[in-house]
Structure 1
Amino acid sequence: MRRFQPGETVIRREIMHGEVWFAYPSICVQDEGDLLVTYLPTNTEFGFPTKGRFPIGEHPWRAEKHTHWSGHGMLALHWEGVDHAVFVYWNGPQREHAFWYFNLQDAPRRTPIGFDTLDHELDLLWRVGAPTWEWKDVEEFAKTGEARYPGRVHEIQAEGDRVAKLLDAGERWWDESWASWQPDPQWAAPTLPAHWEEVPCVGR
């Protein structure tokens, strides 16, 4: 499957029960070895499919009319075969590093336009200056996990526990210098290509 060059558009699609459930375009920062780094600029428009069975309902962001990425852009580090990504967030006019976000999700599955995955809702984050990490969306995961990820709840929780143990042990499997990374000022918000919904899904 193709590799992306810096500046190219990479489409991240979420596949729920075999159907495209959500998508957004991002910009390739680095695609080398087993690491794919993408950037989601401010005001990038989200994509919600126009058809599908959606047995658990439409994507929550669509229901909330959350149609574009707001705030500072987000950097995302994805590794082949790894069921989480590390997101980097910034705050304020000086674009100060705010926190590391450990997003539990399917390992990326390459497609001709980017990659397919599925967000697992349960996450961890570590705020700058905080003594340790914290869980996020624990109650939501407990309520909806089995419907969203039938037969996989324990597997997803185990990955979260694995990440937590690594952090507790002082492990840093990502380059912390990404916290000071700056996007190319000429990069504009990317757009979804035509027929992005119709590209065949890559199964897990």
Structure 2
Amino acid sequence: MNPCMTTQPEVDTVRFKPGDLILHRQFTGDRLVFVRLVRVIDHDERGLRLWIPHGTVMSATMTADGRGLRDMPFSEWVETDRVLTEMSWRGPNVFMFTPPDAGHSVLFFWHPAEHFFGWYVNLEEPGVLWRDETAAGIDITDQDLDMWVDRDRTWHWKDEHELAERLAYPEHYWVKDEDEVRAEGLRVAALIESGAFPFDGTWCDFRPDPSWPVPAHLPPGWDRPRAR
């Protein structure tokens, strides 16, 4: 790691440019558990928009035998040795919108590639943007409880069972206030049900710049300490 890092604790102090490659990183406490190299679509007063294509280079926390967090009970996970393992994103292309100072991001999905399929609301701690001498990015903590939103704006909670299971292990779990996580989801639900931005059709016709390559490796600085 570079010992001469600089952090930017205020979201408004960092602005990324369209086309920039930045690191989208997830932490539990100060432990880096997930990182991927993503493309900036735009970044302005509405928030940060990112493009995460199929094949995006990433590292995720896995056990020595290749299992992830969802492959075992949480009680086993916290007692098992784990390591960040380089791989590539095997899911569909994703457009991610992170509003400033918000406890969520909104992911847009298309399937097939030209057909908008729905939104996924990822509930998370407000992201911290950063830039240093070698890299730049956004650091978050995923709050596990999420929401799926169909094109007709009907929605439902996702992963409630995971939240309930893990809350039974407060000495290991990173979510400290279930009520606040749900409250953030209900604030988003009000936008969904009223058809307000960003659930008003904005960006549903987005197409990426075809000249954007998919990088093969994470850049130096990908494992720098968490920005706060």
What is the TM-score normalised by the length of structure 2? 0.75
**Separation in 1 of the partners of 2:18 and 2:210?**
14
Question: What letter matches 2:138 in structure 1?
Answer: F
Structure 2's unaligned 5+ residue stretches are: 1-12, 63-76
Tell me if 1:39 matches 2:38. Answer: no
Q: Which residue of 2 aligns with 1:133?
A: 155
Shift of 1:167: 2.4
RMSD: 2.8
Q: Which residue of 2 aligns with 1:148?
A: 173
**Identity over the aligned pairs, expressed in percent?**
26
Shift of 1:87: 0.5
Q: Which residue of 1 aligns with 2:72?
A: none
Shift of 1:2: 3.2
**Separation in 1 of the partners of 2:80 and 2:114?**
33
Mapping for residues 7-156 of structure 1, pairs under 5 Å: 7-48=19-60, 56=78, 67-92=87-112, 94-112=113-131, 113-129=136-152, 132-145=154-167, 146=170, 147-156=172-181
Mapping for residues 152-191 of structure 1, pairs under 5 Å: 152-168=177-193, 170-174=194-198, 176-190=201-215, 191=217
Q: Which residue of 2 aligns with 1:6?
A: 18
Question: What letter matches 2:196 in structure 1?
Answer: R
**Separation in 2 of the partners of 1:30 and 1:59?**
38
**Separation in 2 of the partners of 1:180 and 1:71?**
19
Q: Is the 8 A contact 2:59 2:86 kept in 1?
A: no
Give the 3 Å change call, closer, same or farther, for CA 59–104 of structure 1 in structure 2: farther
Question: What letter matches 1:46 in structure 2?
Answer: M
Shift of 1:48: 3.7
Q: Is the 8 A contact 2:57 2:89 kept in 1?
A: yes
Give the 3 Å change call, closer, same or farther, for CA 88–57 of structure 1 in structure 2: farther
What is the TM-score normalised by the length of structure 1? 0.83
**Separation in 2 of the partners of 1:99 and 1:163?**
15
Select the structure of larger CA radius of gyration.
2
- Runs of 4+ off more than 3 Å: 55-60
Other structure's SS at 1:148 match: coil
Q: Is the 8 A contact 1:10 1:38 kept in 2?
A: no
**Separation in 2 of the partners of 1:166 and 1:33?**
18
Structure 1's unaligned 5+ residue stretches are: none
Equivalent pairs counted in the alignment come to: 193
Give the 3 Å change call, closer, same or farther, for CA 97–5 of structure 1 in structure 2: same
Give the 3 Å change call, closer, same or farther, for CA 167–66 of structure 1 in structure 2: farther
**Separation in 2 of the partners of 1:58 and 1:186?**
42
**Separation in 2 of the partners of 1:66 and 1:134?**
32
Question: What letter matches 1:155 in structure 2?
Answer: E
